[in-house]
Amino acid sequence: MSLLRESLSEIHKRVKQREISARDLVEESLKQIEQVDGQVQAFLKVDAEGARKQADELDQQFANSEHKGLLAALPIGLKDNLCTEGLTTTCASKLLENYTPIYNATVVDKLREAQAISMGKLNMDEFAMGSSTENSGYFPTYNPWDLERVPGGSSGGSAAAVAAGEVYLALGSDTGGSIRQPAAFCGVVGLKPTYGRISRFGLVAFASSLDQIGPLTKNVEDAAYALQALAGHDSMDSTSADVEVPNYLSALTGDIRGLRVAVPKEMMGEGIEPGVREQVRKALATLEKLGAIVEEVSLPHADYAVATYYLIAPAEASSNLARYDGVRYGVRKTGKNLIDLYHETRSQGFGPEVKRRIMLGTYALSSGYYDAYYLKAQKVRTLIRQDFDSIFANYDVVIGPTTPTTAFKIGEKVNDPLTMYANDLCTIPVNLAGLPALSVPCGLSEGLPVGLQIIGKAFDEATILRVAHAFEQETERLVAPVGGLDA
**Residues designated catalytic:** 79, 154, 178
Residue 9 one-letter amino acid: S
The count of other CB atoms within 10 Å of the CB of residue 291 is 12
Using CA atoms, how far apart are residues 402 and 412, in angstroms rounded to an integer?
Answer: 20
Query: Is 457 in contact with 218 (CB distance < 8 Å)?
Result: no
| CA torsion, ordered 453, 159, 134, 335, to nearest 10 deg | 110
Query: Is 263 in contact with 295 (CB distance < 8 Å)?
Result: yes
Query: Is 36 in contact with 164 (CB distance < 8 Å)?
Result: yes
Using CA atoms, how far apart are residues 399 and 258, in angstroms rounded to an integer?
Answer: 15
CA nearest to 91, candidates 295, 331, 267: 331
Print the SS3 string covering 414-449: CCCHHHHHHCCCCCHHHHHHCCCEEEEEEEEECCEE
**Which residues 6+ apart lie within 8 Å of 480 measured at CB?**
144, 145, 163, 164, 165, 186, 187
What is the per-residue burial (b if ≥16 Cβ within 10 Å, else e) of 376-415? Answer: ebeebbeebbebbeebbeebbbbbbbbbbbbbbebebbbe
